[in-house]
Amino acid sequence: MAHPSQLGFQDAASPVMEELLHFHDHALMIIFLISAMVLYIIVAMITTKLTDKYILDSQEIEIIWTVLPAIVLIMIALPSLRILYLMDEVNDPHLTIKAVGHQWYWSYEYTDFEDLGFDSYMIPTQDLTPGQFRLLEADHRMVIPVESPIRMLISAEDVLHSWAVPSLGMKMDAVPGRLNQTAFIASRSGIFYGQCSEICGANHSFMPIVVEAVPLEHFENWSSFMLEDA
């Protein structure tokens, strides 16, 4: 969960998010080095005679200016492609959950169970209890087991939505008439908050996503309780 005056991303709660954080730091360091070098050259051109004819017409400088950006792009592209492939892999999921976006709430179906599904609405501000977060709490959380591969099937009933949970490194568009697929693993227990990340209408900011990762035993107890109430 984000906190006041926070710098950077939320703490990673999945292997994919950990990879994204590492890639962010990697790219940021490259940007910092490029910016420092360009700033040094600008200052040197202003304060010294770096603009003489030998420097401006140097073949060596032309070669460096051509090869160096290509090397930088490769250093950024290779880890980026690796993460894209990791995010696209769905290997032997333990649980499949279908999330459907509506105006303006989410519904969840646990497809491995016959009758386990529910709607998830935002809790109004006047109904919040101490410790709950405004605009982020939902009346029904999506409960998942920790350290289990989860496959998400994401769609929408009416307009474009987007199912996004930053701590899990998850963001997938929900498109009417289309079923998008992604997967993740929650590496630790906790409650992770997200919101619809597509401008989907007047109440776009009032359809939060709450994912609760619990040990497998607790998940089994929760699913049994939900099935009894169905």
Three-class SS string for 76-138? HHHHHHHHHHHHHCCCCCCEEEEEEEECCEEEEEECCCCCCEEEECECCHHHCCCCCCCCCCE
Tell me whether residue 121 is in a domain.
yes
- For residues 114 and 78, membership in a common domain is answered with no
- For residues 132 and 211, membership in a common domain is answered with yes
Containing H/E element for 163?
strand 161-165
Q: What is the pLDDT of residue 10?
A: 85
What contacts 178, CB < 8 A, 6 or more positions away? 155
The residue range of the domain holding 68 is: 15-88
Q: How far is CA 166 from the centre of its chain?
A: 4
From 48, 67, 88, the end of a domain falls on: 88
Tell me whether residue 4 is in a domain.
no
> How many structural domains does the chain have?
2
- For residues 159 and 220, membership in a common domain is answered with yes
Q: What is the pLDDT of residue 61?
A: 77
- For residues 66 and 177, membership in a common domain is answered with no
- For residues 142 and 53, membership in a common domain is answered with no
- For residues 81 and 128, membership in a common domain is answered with no
Dihedral over alpha carbons 6, 163, 127, 219 (to 10 degrees): -100
- For residues 106 and 192, membership in a common domain is answered with yes
Tell me whether residue 6 is in a domain.
no
Tell me whether residue 165 is in a domain.
yes
Query: Omega of the bond prior to 106 within 30 degrees of 0, cis?
Result: no
CA angle 112, 158, 142 (to 5 degrees): 35
- For residues 65 and 140, membership in a common domain is answered with no
Amino acid letter, 165:
V
- For residues 107 and 219, membership in a common domain is answered with yes
**Helix 59-88 and helix 15-47: axis angle, to 10°?**
160
Tell me whether residue 3 is in a domain.
no
- For residues 112 and 218, membership in a common domain is answered with yes
Q: What is the pLDDT of residue 154?
A: 96
Dihedral over alpha carbons 97, 210, 226, 220 (to 10 degrees): 70
CB 200 within 8 A of CB 103: yes
Low-confidence ranges of the chain (pLDDT < 50): none
127 φ, ψ (degrees, to nearest 5): -100, 0
pTM of the model: 0.84
- For residues 61 and 125, membership in a common domain is answered with no
From 64, 88, 112, the end of a domain falls on: 88
Q: What is the pLDDT of residue 230?
A: 63
Q: Could you identify the residue written with the tokens 């954080």? A: 21
Q: Where are the alpha helices (DSSP H) in the chain?
A: 15-47, 53-56, 59-88, 216-229
CA–CA distance, 88 with 104 (Å, rounded to integer): 28
From 34, 59, 88, the end of a domain falls on: 88
